[in-house]
Homo-oligomer: A and B are copies of this chain.
Amino acid sequence: MRVKALVSYDGTGYSGFQWQQNAPTIQAELERALQSLTGTFTRIVAAGRTDAGVHAEGQVIVFDTEWRHPLESLHRGLNALLPAQIAVLALTPAPATFHPRFDARRRWYRYTIYHAPVRDPWAARVSLHVHRPLDVSAMQQAAATLVGRFDFSAFGSPPQGNNAVREVFRAEWHSQPAEHGGQWLYFDIEANAFLRRMVRMIVGTLLRVGYGVLPPGAMHDILTARERRLAGPAVAPQGLSLRAVAYDSL
């Protein structure tokens, strides 16, 4: 039986999703918990391989299992065995042909900035702290130019033998007041797929627009020039989270 799971994790302290020798990964924790419960080594496949320190609130994984009890007991057992930083939010049967990466139509990532004069311990785990003034309307204008189907080589590398063309459906900033005179800035980006480090390089470039180092129009110029050296540096991983993955059915 193929099983689909919705997984949430705090990526702090993990070397990313994908299994690695001698490094703590989300995949290793999930496979360890599955093996303890089912007695069989069970390979899992995920929708997105989040980088070291990156979080997820809506990661999708699948695995094949011969579990003969109700899925509800597998669900509870997994949450009892997994560390506090990882939780399975839902567990459902999936068609035998379902693949979480190949079948995904849209991925939504959110990058969070804590914009405040003084840093905050509660923000540190899930955001980048920025204390310099930011022109959010210029960042919004620059972000809007990313929507469409483009070669995103300027903002990341495709897997070997693949091209860098991706379709961005949504790229926008939202703000929300925070305590102590600060504000939360959320960058929401949805695309059919992403290049490695693409969101963090885009945010790094948008911040340069926000600081006034680049005009809003530079974003589109860098994109069409496909020049990595013109883009901003990738921002820190702790602000990034995989919020949701959308499929045609299911």
Contact = CB atoms under 8 A, between A and B. Distances in A.
A119 B90 CA distance: 11
Q: Considering residues A57, A79, A119, which has the most beta carbons from chain B within 10 angstroms of its beta carbon?
A: A119
Copies of chain A in the complex = 2
Interface residues of A, number: 22
A124 B84 contact: yes
Interface string A46-68: 00000000000100000000000
A180 interface: yes
Contact of A86 (B88, B90, B121): B121
A121 B85 contact: yes
Contact residues of A: prevailing secondary structure: mixed
B87 A10 contact: no
Residue among A9, A79, A118, A180 facing the most chain B CB atoms (10 A cut-off): A118
Given A10-B121, A57-B179, A84-B119, 13 more contacts: A8-B122, A9-B121, A10-B124, A75-B118, A79-B118, A79-B119, A84-B124, A84-B125, A87-B118, A87-B119, A89-B120, A90-B118, A125-B125
Interface of A: 8-10, 57, 75, 79, 84-90, 118-122, 124-125, 179-180
The 4 closest A-B pairs by CB, nearest first: A84-B124, A10-B121, A85-B121, A87-B121
